[in-house]
Amino acid sequence: MAQAAESRKRGKTKDASVNQPQLLDAYRTMLLIRRFEEKAGQLYGMGLIGGFCHLYIGQEAVVTGMQMAAGEGDQVITSYRDHGHMLAAGMEARGVMAELTGRSGGYSRGKGGSMHMFSKERNFFGGHGIVGAQVSLGNGLAFSNWYRGNDRVSLTYFGDGASNQGQVYESFNLAAMLKLPVVFIIENNKYGMGTAVDRASASHDLSKNGAPWGIPGIKVDGMDVVAVREAADLAISTCRAGKGPYLLEVETYRYRGHSMSDPARYRTREEVQAMRTQHDCIENVRHKLEAIGVEEAAFRAIDDEVKGIVQDAADFAQTSPEPDEAELWTDILVEG
């Protein structure tokens, strides 16, 4: 594990740590997220999805690599840019897409929307619309593991923008004091809405933001799913061993605007193009697979499968009925 950390610090990955079926699975998950998000963008454009819709395109390797290392029962919690996390956590594309369209077949029966979805069954705790709130809540999931004395770990995601919130540092302090099993994952996609990270944070190395509390942290190449997987192994195993929290700063990039209605004038088209063409996480893993002899037919089969899932989800999301009007008044309080 120490070796893995060393190689990561040098910006290299030991591809041998991930076998071919795992890599193919990662390719499939990332492609599913991307195709799902493209479809969501399309449905938004058609007016079928309302309100805010924050796409995860470009960042797929982060949650995919983390989930490759996560175990059954580990909890996941994140911000409003949450569709990819739900798919990676094993939630059904249909239920997620139908929530985006506000239909009864959605995970929250249409009452949560893009930013507020949950699955107790898949240990996915949202989907939170208030920047940074999920960090305190994720700490609480870790607290519940600590309190119950089990070895589960809370995977708590937030962005570079949220990393400046006061409650993040309150959470670092509490997690370090109680030695809570929580991996804090900063998805540094370089922009908090339209503000570049160096215009919002005086800290130039977010992986060190937990250092005053003794929280170990490393920077990870978030466009390389294998690097994310290796860092996740280290962080999660440290937490599982009862050694307290761990911080990962995963450097990534979102290709789309902050939300659907963001023209993204704060960065150049060339910058975006360079990331897409030279660093794309899906192309990256595809090259790795090609290098070890995976043939075109295998990719084509996955592409077709993923397209089918996404189209089925889109169809379901348009045919599932709107929630019954009586739903307005349900789920306000637990009865009994």
Partner 1 sequence: MATQILMPALSPTMTEGKLARWLKAVGDSVKAGDVIAEIETDKATMEVEAVDEGTITALLIPEGTEGVAVNTPIAELSGGTEMARPAPVPMAAPAPAPVVVAAPVAAPVADKDWGETKPTTVREALRDAMALEMRRDGDVFLLGEEVAQYQGAYKISQGLLDEFGAKRVIDTPITEHGFAGMAVGAALNGLKPIVEFMTFNFAMQAMDHIINSAAKTLYMSGGQMGCPIVFRGPNGAASRVGAQHSQCYASWYAHVPGLKVVAPWSSADSKGLLRAAIRDPNPIIFLENEILYGQTFDCPVDEDFILPIGKAKIERAGSHVTIVAFSIMVGVAMEAAKVLAEQGIEAEVINLRSLRPLDIDTVVASVKKTNRLVTIEEGWPFAGIGAEVVMQVIEGAFDWLDAPPVRVHGKDVPLPYAANLEKLALPQPSWVVEAVKKIV
If binding means CB under 8 A, how many residues of this protein chain bind partner 1? 85
Q: Which stretch binds partner 1 (CB under 8 A): 11-19, 112-120, 213-221, 288-296?
A: 112-120
User: Nearest distance from residue 222's CB to partner 1, in Å?
Assistant: 18
Nearest-approach distance from CB 328 to partner 1, in angstroms: 10
R_g of the chain, CA atoms, integer Å: 19
- Per-position x/- string for 228-257, each x denoting binding to partner 1 as judged by CB under 8 A, each - no binding: ---------------------------x-x
Q: Tell me the C-alpha distance between 146 and 149, whole Å.
A: 5
115 and 127 Cβ atoms separated by less than 8 Å: yes
Does residue 104 interact with partner 1 by CB under 8 A? yes
Q: Does 3 bind partner 1 (CB under 8 A)?
A: no
Sole binder of partner 1 in the list 3, 12, 20, 51 (CB under 8 A): 51
Shortest Å, Cβ 20 to partner 1: 24
> Segment contacting partner 1 (CB under 8 A): 8-16, 119-127, 224-232, 245-253?
119-127
Under the binding rule (CB under 8 A), the answer on residue 194 touching partner 1 is no
Q: What part of residues 264-283 is at the interface with partner 1 (CB under 8 A)?
A: 265, 276
Of 80, 118, 157, 184, the one binding partner 1 (CB under 8 A) is: 118
Among 144, 241, 243, 322, binds partner 1 (CB under 8 A): 144
Could you say whether residue 324 binds partner 1 (CB under 8 A)?
Answer: no
* Cβ atoms of residues 247 and 210 within 8 Å: yes
Give the residue among 117, 146, 160 at the shortest CA–CA distance from 252.
160
Helix (H) or strand (E) holding 159: strand 154-159
Q: Which helix (H) or strand (E) holds 155?
A: strand 154-159
How far apart, in Å, are the Cα atoms of 327 and each of 104, 316, 320, 330, 331? 9, 20, 15, 5, 8
Closest CA to 114 of 124, 128, 125: 128
Nearer to partner 1, 229 or 257 (CB): 257
Q: What is the dihedral of CA 204, 207, 212, 216, to 10 degrees?
A: -160
State which residue, 21 or 166, has the beta carbon closest to partner 1. 166
Q: Which of 7, 22, 25, 41 binds partner 1 (CB under 8 A)?
A: 41
Give the other-Cβ count within 10 Å of 20's Cβ. 13
- Residue 16 CB partners (closer than 8 Å, separation 6+): none
Nearest distance, CB of residue 12 and partner 1, angstroms = 28
Answer for the pair 54, 80: CB distance below 8 angstroms, yes or no.
Answer: yes
